[in-house]
């Protein structure tokens, strides 16, 4: 199965973003993203128990270190259902590693080290159990599964662009916040699904002061309290997203494809927060944005996303529920160089 097909199967949204990257960088990020999804499969699959998940994640790190053949993992997951796209990616881990080993050695080292570290972090959390006590623990979990992805993306961007390389130390902490922002939005979107599989990523310090317990967390009779909880999570996500916006505005304007690959998940997250507030569907199922909104964001930012002034104003407008379909005219700052 071609890696591009695997990418679209596991996440059409991120596929849209990754496909906007310059060609060589796109190949690196595609393979890196799919290797992370192997780890995700081992962490998330409902047919694996927590101790086995931790064991498989640690096994995966040894494979990444070339200490074991990839077959030592794939034979352990033969029984998992191929209709799950993440399972299909995990079963094709050997193909992904072959692709990885065709990249320049520095790129291989960047990708391997970050997938290795996130897998160890996931294993630790599987051993810790599905209980998050406070915001610091929540941030630690989110750093393992998403903050490290921000580091990886920044390292790859810096390898590709000398200008980004000069800003790398400034960008790295911003990229971590960006990852935490997207993961906080994922937690809001996945409240019901995660709860049904026995995981609550919301800290007890967030919901216990509201008079909620783990058992009553998503009970419909507590809807008003739960929506207050969602607001607090959304406020937290918004704080992280501001750093994500700062990350993007620090990227060179002429690297429009790289900027768009970051702009789209940022703005999709902002819109998701807008429709999640005071929305009972967050409790019952899931709140999500429409395809029309996705199309509008992609269209507008493709035209004007090179402008930081325009982007900051457009970002602010995404917080409005029922946003009309129109685009802001760009601020008359310096236009990008030809060929963007």
Please write down the HEC assignment for all residues of the chain. Answer: CCHHHHHHHHCHHHHHHHCCCCHHHHHHHHHHHHHHHHHHHHHHCCCCCHHHHHHHHHHHHHHHCCCCCCHHHHHHHCCCCCCCHHHHHHHCHHHHHHHHCCCCHHHHHHHHHHHHHHHHHHHHHHHHCCCCCCHHHHHHHHHHHHHHHHHHHHHHHHHHCHHHHHCHHHHHHHHHHHHHHHHHHHHHHCHHHHHHCCCCCCCHHHHHHHCCCCCCCCCHHHHHHHHHHHHHHHHHHHHHHHHHHHHHHCCCCCCHHHHHHHHHHHHHHHHHHHHHCCCCHHHHCCCCCCHHHHHHHHHHHHHHCCCHHHHHHHHHHCCCCCCCCCCCCCCCCCCCCCCC
Distance CA 136, CA 139 (A): 5
Distance between first and last Cα of the chain: 32
289-306 pLDDT, tens digit each: 899 999 999 999 999 999
Distance CA 32, CA 152 (A): 8
Cβ(155)–Cβ(110) below 8 Å:
yes
Tokens of 25: 């960088």
Q: Is the pLDDT of residue 331 over 70?
A: no
Answer yes or no: CATH 1.10.600.10 is held by domain 1-129: yes
The hierarchical CATH code for the domain 131-340 is 1.10.600.10
Confidence of residue 320 (pLDDT cuts 50, 70, 90): confident
Condensed to tens digits (0 to 9), the pLDDT of residues 147-176 reads 999 999 999 999 999 999 999 999 999 999
**All CATH 1.10.600.10 domain ranges in the chain, comma separated:** 1-129, 131-340
pLDDT at 337 over 60: no
pLDDT at 27 over 90: yes
pLDDT score for 321: 67
Place 287 in a pLDDT band, splitting at 50, 70 and 90: confident
Determine the average pLDDT of the residues in 182-199.
91
What's the whole-model pTM score?
Answer: 0.91
pLDDT tens column, 229-278 = 999 999 999 999 999 999 999 999 999 999 999 999 999 999 999 999 98
- For residue range 69-114, what is the model confidence (pLDDT) as tens digits? 999 999 999 999 989 999 999 999 999 999 999 999 999 999 999 9
- Single out the residue of 233, 325, 240 nearest to residue 279, CA to CA: 233
**% of the chain at pLDDT higher than 90:** 81
């Amino acid at each position: 199965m071609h890696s591009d097909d695997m990418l679209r199967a596991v996440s059409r949204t991120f596929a849209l973003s990754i496909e906007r990257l310059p060609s060589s960088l796109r190949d690196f990020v595609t393979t890196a993203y799919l290797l992370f999804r192997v780890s995700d499969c081992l962490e998330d699959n409902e047919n694996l128990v927590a101790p086995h998940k931790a064991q498989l994640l640690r096994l995966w790190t040894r494979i990444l270190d070339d200490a074991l053949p990839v077959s030592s993992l794939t034979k352990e997951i033969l029984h998992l259902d191929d209709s799950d796209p993440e399972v299909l990616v995990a079963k094709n881990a050997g193909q992904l590693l072959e692709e990885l080993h065709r990249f320049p050695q520095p790129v291989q080292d960047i990708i391997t080290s970050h997938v290795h570290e996130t897998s160890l972090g996931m294993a630790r959390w599987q051993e810790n159990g599905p209980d998050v006590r406070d915001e610091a623990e929540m941030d630690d979990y989110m750093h393992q599964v998403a903050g490290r992805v921000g580091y990886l993306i920044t390292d790859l961007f810096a390898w590709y662009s000398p200008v980004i390389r000069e800003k790398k130390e400034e960008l790295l902490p911003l990229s971590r916040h960006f990852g935490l922002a997207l993961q906080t939005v994922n937690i809001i979107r996945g409240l019901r699904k995660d709860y049904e599989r026995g995981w609550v990523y919301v800290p007890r310090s967030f919901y216990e002061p509201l008079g909620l317990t783990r058992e009553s967390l998503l009970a419909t009779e507590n809807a008003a309290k739960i929506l207050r909880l969602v607001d607090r999570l959304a406020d937290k996500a918004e704080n992280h997203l501001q750093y994500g916006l700062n990350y993007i505005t620090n990227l060179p304007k002429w690297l429009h494809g790289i900027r768009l690959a970051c702009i789209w998940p940022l703005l999709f997250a902002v819109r998701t927060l807008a429709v999640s507030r005071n929305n009972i569907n967050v409790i019952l199922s899931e709140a999500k944005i429409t395809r029309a909104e996705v199309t509008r964001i992609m269209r507008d930012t493709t035209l004007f996303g090179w402008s930081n002034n325009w982007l900051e104003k457009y970002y602010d407008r995404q917080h409005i529920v029922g946003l009309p379909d129109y685009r802001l005219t760009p601020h008359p700052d310096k236009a990008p160089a030809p060929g963007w």
